Structure 1
Amino acid sequence: MLSWKIFMRAVRVILDDIGAALRVTALPYAILVVASVWFISAYGQHSLTELELTAMGEGDAAPILPDGFLAASLAVVLLQAAISIWIAVAWHRRVLLQESAEGVVPPVHGGQMLGYLGRSILIGLIVAAVSVAILVALAPIVPVLASPAVFIVAVIIFYRLGLILPAGAIGKPITVGEAWTATKGQSATVVLLALLTFAVSLLLQVPALIDASISGPPVATDGTLATPGPISVTYNLVVGWMLLLLGVSILSVLYGHFVERRPLD
């Protein structure tokens, strides 16, 4: 099955070059870890007032957030996006160009990173537009099919057009039309690939889900927001690192196979 071969090739890409993978991702991801730990320590133990707890229980009211919470959240999200793109571009170039991964600081390819952001936004807009069109067309007639149809079409568009991301990262940009043509007839393959990746992601997150169910509700009876323990936080960060690297590797393998005609064996 082609989807399985692509998935396993992506896994082997990481395992066969794990040293380079760690060097490419260690510093950027460490920055993200520090930011995440700071955010949790700064806002994780916010003591809720009686008014806030009351508001959280009402359907038409929103909880009052601590000062600086929204700004800090936005900063962490933007930092996460920037670091994800930094890692993605560096790893695409390592996988497809065998670019050197020596040193502590991975190469910063500013132009390629901005291009990656722009292409990601473009794909997101296309997926959103098509998804809305499907919902408008199907929801009033067969609502039960609307969500599955959106999921399948979104996956097909993302993976088939996603080839423009590694292409731009290595300085060999291709158009949306060229990416779509290169993956002609592979819609079933990318849907199965997405389901396989989702299944692995779910399995990796099972321990965290179990821990969350044991830990209890996010708001304790004394009105304090529960803070994840260090083991839970560390595990989630490691899983996030693995899934990020796996996702970038899958796009690299898709580009290498369908555009550059590289073998999967």
Structure 2
Amino acid sequence: MLAINILTHAFLQVIGNLRQLVNISALPLLIQFFGAIATIFTAIGANNATGNASFVTLPLLVAFLLLPFVWIAVNWHRFVLLNQPQSILPRLPMNAVLRYIGTAILIAILLLVPLALAAATFQIIAGVLGSAGITFVLAFAFGIAIMLALMVASLRLGVALPAAAIGAPDAITTAWKATAGNTGTFLLLGVLMALLQIPINLITMVPTGPATPFLVSILILLLTIAVLWIYMFISLSVLTTLYGYFVERRQLRTSI
């Protein structure tokens, strides 16, 4: 199936370029780590001084947590699609980063507006029905349908992100048109990505406490970080692969 081939290609893309993964992500992740610590201490200081730390912490969270991730994403897309290798001090293409953020905001709006309209429509229908039992069944079916629709739409629109990273024109329009007629593929791909998250969530939820040996706690922490790191790049690679396949008509690699 095409969805399985896309996910396989994305996975092979990741494991075949581990050195580039390190080069692209090491510095941004270090900035995230120390930025998170700085944000915590700044928030504590601001809270003690004014009683309201949100006006201080929000800009810091954007600067230290969001921007490094976008930096990683942009350089990964550009490495794969433009054959632009990165050193341990990766490039910071600010124009591409700003395009990426702007495109992500537009995608969020395009997803949230129909969701809000659908929720309002459901409230009207539920009010007309009046029956708690029927409303519950309807809410369950409606929720599943909305979740699946969002899954497909977010993947299709998400193809615009690598397009923005490499400076392709009309990123969102191009992505939406190029992926038309493949609802089943995107639906299955979204389900596979969700299933892939299950073992990852199980690893991240492994309980640790005072009774846990220190070495075991460290190993669990390192395993959690490594798994989340790999999954992040697999997710980015899925979008890159979708762009390469549907827009640039590249071939999929399904074996080593």
TM-score, normalized by the shorter chain, greater than 0.5: yes
- Which residue in 1 is equivalent to 2:190? 194
- Which residue in 2 is equivalent to 1:2? 2
- Which residue in 1 is equivalent to 2:74? 89
Structure 2 counterpart SS, 1:100: coil
In structure 2, runs of 5+ residues without a counterpart are 127-137, 211-216
Measured after TM superposition, the shift of residue 166 of structure 1 is: 0.7
Are residues 1:28 and 2:28 paired? yes
- Which residue in 2 is equivalent to 1:174? 170
Equivalent of 1:136, from 120, 127, 131?
Answer: 120
1:164-217 deviation digits (Å, cap 9, x = unpaired): 111121122334332211111111211211121121122112122131xx549x
Structure 1 counterpart SS, 2:205: helix
Give the count of matched residue pairs. Answer: 230
Counterpart residue type for residue 31 of structure 1: I
* Aligned 8 A contact 2:164 2:171 in 1: no
Are residues 1:250 and 2:238 paired? yes
C-alpha distance in structure 2 between counterparts of 1:74 and 1:210, whole Å: 32
Measured after TM superposition, the shift of residue 257 of structure 1 is: 0.1
- Which residue in 1 is equivalent to 2:131? none
Counterpart residue type for residue 239 of structure 1: V
Q: Provide the aligned C-alpha RMSD in A.
A: 2.6
Measured after TM superposition, the shift of residue 145 of structure 1 is: 2.0
Counterpart residue type for residue 81 of structure 1: L
Bigger fraction of residues in helix: 2
Q: Which moved more, 1:159-168 or 1:246-255?
A: 159-168
Measured after TM superposition, the shift of residue 25 of structure 1 is: 0.8
- Which residue in 2 is equivalent to 1:75? 60
* Aligned 8 A contact 1:93 1:99 in 2: yes
Counterpart residue type for residue 155 of structure 1: M
Measured after TM superposition, the shift of residue 104 of structure 1 is: 1.8
- Which residue in 2 is equivalent to 1:203? 199
* Aligned 8 A contact 1:14 1:21 in 2: yes
Measured after TM superposition, the shift of residue 236 of structure 1 is: 4.0
Measured after TM superposition, the shift of residue 260 of structure 1 is: 0.5
Structure 1 counterpart SS, 2:170: coil
Measured after TM superposition, the shift of residue 109 of structure 1 is: 0.6
Measured after TM superposition, the shift of residue 235 of structure 1 is: 4.1
C-alpha distance in structure 2 between counterparts of 1:146 and 1:28, whole Å: 40
- Which residue in 2 is equivalent to 1:106? 90
* Aligned 8 A contact 1:39 1:72 in 2: yes
Measured after TM superposition, the shift of residue 68 of structure 1 is: 6.8
In structure 1, runs of 5+ residues without a counterpart are 47-64, 217-228
Counterpart residue type for residue 117 of structure 1: I
* Aligned 8 A contact 2:103 2:172 in 1: no
Percent identity (aligned): 26
C-alpha distance in structure 2 between counterparts of 1:109 and 1:177, whole Å: 23
Q: Which runs of structure 1 show a deviation greater than 6 angstroms over 4 or more consecutive aligned residues?
A: none
- Using the size of structure 2 for normalisation, the TM-score is 0.80
